Structure 1
Amino acid sequence: MTAPPRRPVLRRFPLSAAAALAAGAVLLTGGCSAAPAPGSGSASASPTRAARAAAPAAANELEDDYRAVIRSALPSVVQIEAGDSIGSGIVYDDRGHIVTNAHVVGDGRTFRVTVASGARPLSATLVSAYPEQDLAVVRLDSLPDGLRPAKFGDSATVEVGQIVLAMGSPLGLSSSVTQGIVSATGRTVSAGTDGGGTGATIPNMVQTSAAINPGNSGGALVDLDGEVIGIPTLAARDPGLGEGAAPGIGFAIPVSMVRTVADQIIKSGRVTDSGRAALGITGRTVLDDDFNPSGVAVVEVVDGGPAQRAGLRAGDVITRVGDAEITTITSLAEALAALRPGDEVPVAYERGAQRRTAEVTLGEV
């Protein structure tokens, strides 16, 4: 009998080891051909020679694409020093706004930012952070010459299999680049709170095989058009490997959410419309008699909030939201991340020995 697979743990990465840029090669093979005429021994070798000649040309073309993307996008990626922590950021506009992860800025209000066009760090000030989506915006106190805003893409066009480059400052090694593909889209992932993490549960993440290491957080995940399609934020960790990250499993916040949050912060100084569903409770994970997670106990309901209006109260244990089984506070957050404010969903809960269901119209975080 084989042991069940270990569940991967997700880690935020505001620091990391350098990674190299790898160029891929394309191997072209010839199709079937008729037998050569007598005396034409060289004919059967021709397709092979053609394939060998084409392979370096294809590899060089792909390498040229990589170089063009790096020349275009890397100058828009900056290094951010927040106290003893180092992370990355992206130049968002020509007014000096830089978007990054909330866990990169932490509790800081002022930062040192090194841009591609300058050798010396510049001072920057926090505009606002939104830990619920692990995003933040800082602004340079003065604008340097040559500041280049990034080009931002469209989340709707991101496809599994497309080549991407991750750019950032792993372990303070600025302007580092790694290469991979989009492995999946639409992932909902949760980060821990250890090491300064926000504990955010984030929907619609882009999964990538491009190496994401500590220090890449807040940087850019870029497609071959040179457009930012996400912000590298998390990497999976296999509990069996201790603190080592699981290779080739990283996650980036999609550019649609980045733009939504950044635009609101720049305009209003805060997020005014999160688009994230909420039950309006404070809860905690509870265990069954075998010490296995079995639900979320309601510790407190928000006065006039969705849960209270639906009849839930402190002491109830939530076991299901819609079609999602709820065993932990994380699974509850993940279920809500897939829903929208205003959605009406059945919420199953236990009150003492009774099992009940309430129709809850979800509010907003």
Structure 2
Amino acid sequence: MLDAGFGVEARLPVLTCAPDDVVVATVDSPIELVLASTDDELRLVAEAQNEAYGAPDATDHDAARLRRTLDRGGFVALAVDTATGIGVGAGLCTPPHRGVSELAAVGVRAVYRRHGIAAALTSLLTRACPTVMFAVVLRKRLHESPKFLEKKAELNSRPSPVRLLLADRRTIRITVAIVVLTTVQNFGYFGIMTWLPSYLSNQFGYGLTKSSMWTAATVLGMLAGVVLFGHLADRIGRRRTFWIFQLSAAASVLVYSQLSSPWALLIGGAVMGACANGMIGGYGALMAELYPTEARATAQNVLFNIGRGLGGLAPVLIALVASANGFPFALGLLSGIYVLAFCAMFVIPERRGAELA
């Protein structure tokens, strides 16, 4: 604008308010304040603002404009009369720029004014801003890897990422093996965590509190197993670590199905959780090293979620087996799936330390 001949006549002061300094303001029933997110709520916002500012009736364009504010990282607040369901007031905060959001378009229908609604909307929006600012600032400081940027320049001439998962016979074998691994991982997780409380309750008479505590021990074991898996995988290689955990998972699940002492079940559950679910810490690195940069995220999402979908059948299948043969038999039978994963690892090459493609 300066180049076009415009000049600066005055610089207006800007008043700012940090979220921690805002005075909390509320309104009485039946008025309720919400951060609008749905299309219906955004339509109520547009209707309230248009009437408050004497504008024509709200249209789909007005709601779409508010949706764009949300999509860019802003916030939209709505005051609703719960007795009638209409929006009585609204306002918004624009997406932050250099750490500051602009509070704008606060308006209240004439018949609802002088009840503190505008002050409450202002308070709500100001207090909500840290979430938006954090998300936007964090994202702006994250940079893509040089490998990704290099490959992105060639993206238009490359096949789709999904096709790269099936690029040739060798890649197809690896992809099938990965699906087997992720299916076994999810099958074991859903099977154990879904039925473990019922197993402890029906088999040993544990109440809700006790069975929850024993199940929590399994979850804590899983967390420890994830950390241990990561360290081992970086030290001795991906394949050897997967083999160790797969055999340990098969053994620990089988042994757990034979335990009866409370302390043995508590400790055995933690060990089983570590062995059976610790492998979750290795799939990211494994798939990152097996697939090229332009297909890496697709591989991790598509292949793991295929396994999640197939593994989601575990609760149903275990219930069918348990109803005919009992929970100990069903739990012991579950150990066999880890042998299948053990065999699948023979198809997957060791690529620890290899340069990413």
TM-score by length of 2: 0.23
> Which of the two has higher C-alpha Rg?
2
**Which protein is richer in strand relative to its size?**
1
